[in-house]
Amino acid sequence: MESLFVFTSPPSTCSYLPDQQWSLTYQMVSRLTPLEYQERLKAGWRRFGFSLFRPTCPACTACRSLRVPVATFKPDRSQRRCLAANDGDVKLVIGLPEVTDEKLDLYDRFHSYQHEHVGWSDHGPKDASDFAESFVDNPFVTQEWCYYLGEKLVGVGYVDNFPEGLSAIYFFHDPAERNRSLGTFNVLSIIRAAAQWNLPHVYLGYFVEGCRSLEYKARFRPNEALSTEGEWEAFREG
């Protein structure tokens, strides 16, 4: 790993829990291997492009890294319905990240819907260079998971593949197809691929109790969360 610099943001209103203050420590890198990132991920860091980050909040520990042990995962009734509704209809194509007008439009429509209906901040349209910086330019090879309904692109996810598992980076989808629960289908697809590739864990990022956008992650059970002591422990049993 080749580190460029490290900095910690000053405390500000938390985007997940508005009654809390948050602060993030960032490490910008110019080079990083999958194995090096794996060790950071297991210690509670996440990655977006060439930026590693983790919460270092002054008085809150609500953000908990969550992972699913693939061998013991059992989909619940709702997740089985999601698989039945999408398998055979929605086609998954895994490839290398690239910018297209179709993805930019899908990303903007997804965020516009989340802003209007979920309360996300309004970021405005994302241009090609911003999209590339977020999803295409990476320190190691990242997978792009594209979901199609017929010829129509309805979902795009980004996934890191390393020796001990898969890490879900980000996913956005067509709001007009929200009844298909494509976010759930994406996670189920990642868990299924990890099982096929004999990988032991799927990392889902941060779970935050009380944050509507992040609480869904705990529904993939059984799962494990990283404790404040740095140990992975059983969190929500199946």
pLDDT digits (tens, 9 = 90+) for 147-197: 999 999 999 999 999 999 999 999 999 999 999 999 999 999 999 999 999
pLDDT at 9: 95
Cβ atoms of 70 and 229 closer than 8 Å: no
The pLDDT of residue 82 is 97
| Distance set, CA 104 to CA 7, 67, 123, 126 (Å) | 30, 29, 13, 7
For strand 224-226 and strand 24-31, is the pairing parallel, antiparallel, or unpaired?
Answer: unpaired
Q: CB–CB of 16/212 below 8 Å?
A: no
For CA atoms 26, 28, 32, 34, give the dihedral sign.
Answer: positive
The pLDDT of residue 114: 85
pLDDT at residue 126, as a whole number? 75
pLDDT at 214: 93
Strands 2-8 and 201-207: unpaired
- The identity of residue 223, as a single letter, is N
Specify the pLDDT at position 236. Answer: 85
- 23-46 pLDDT, tens per residue? 999 999 999 999 999 999 999 999
User: What's the pTM value of the predicted model, to 2 decimals?
Assistant: 0.94
Q: What angle do CA 153, 158, 164 make, to 5 degrees?
A: 140
Q: SS3 for 77? A: helix
Q: Count of residues for the chain?
A: 238
For 67-91, the pLDDT digits (tens) are 999 999 999 999 999 999 999 999 9
- Residue 128 pLDDT > 80, yes or no? yes
Residue 238 in this model has a pLDDT that exceeds 70: no
pLDDT at 211 over 80: yes
Q: Which of 41-50, 59-68, 89-98, 109-118 has the lowest mean pLDDT?
A: 109-118
Q: Whose CA is closest to 2, among 42, 37, 48?
A: 37
Question: Is a pLDDT exceeding 80 seen at residue 205?
Answer: yes
Please, what is the average pLDDT of the chain? 94
Residue 124 has pLDDT above 70, yes or no: no
Spatial strand order in the sheet of 2-8: 2-8, 24-31, 51-55, 46-48
41 neighbors 1 (Cβ within 8 angstroms): no
Q: At what angle do helices 182-196 and 77-86 cross, to 10 degrees?
A: 90
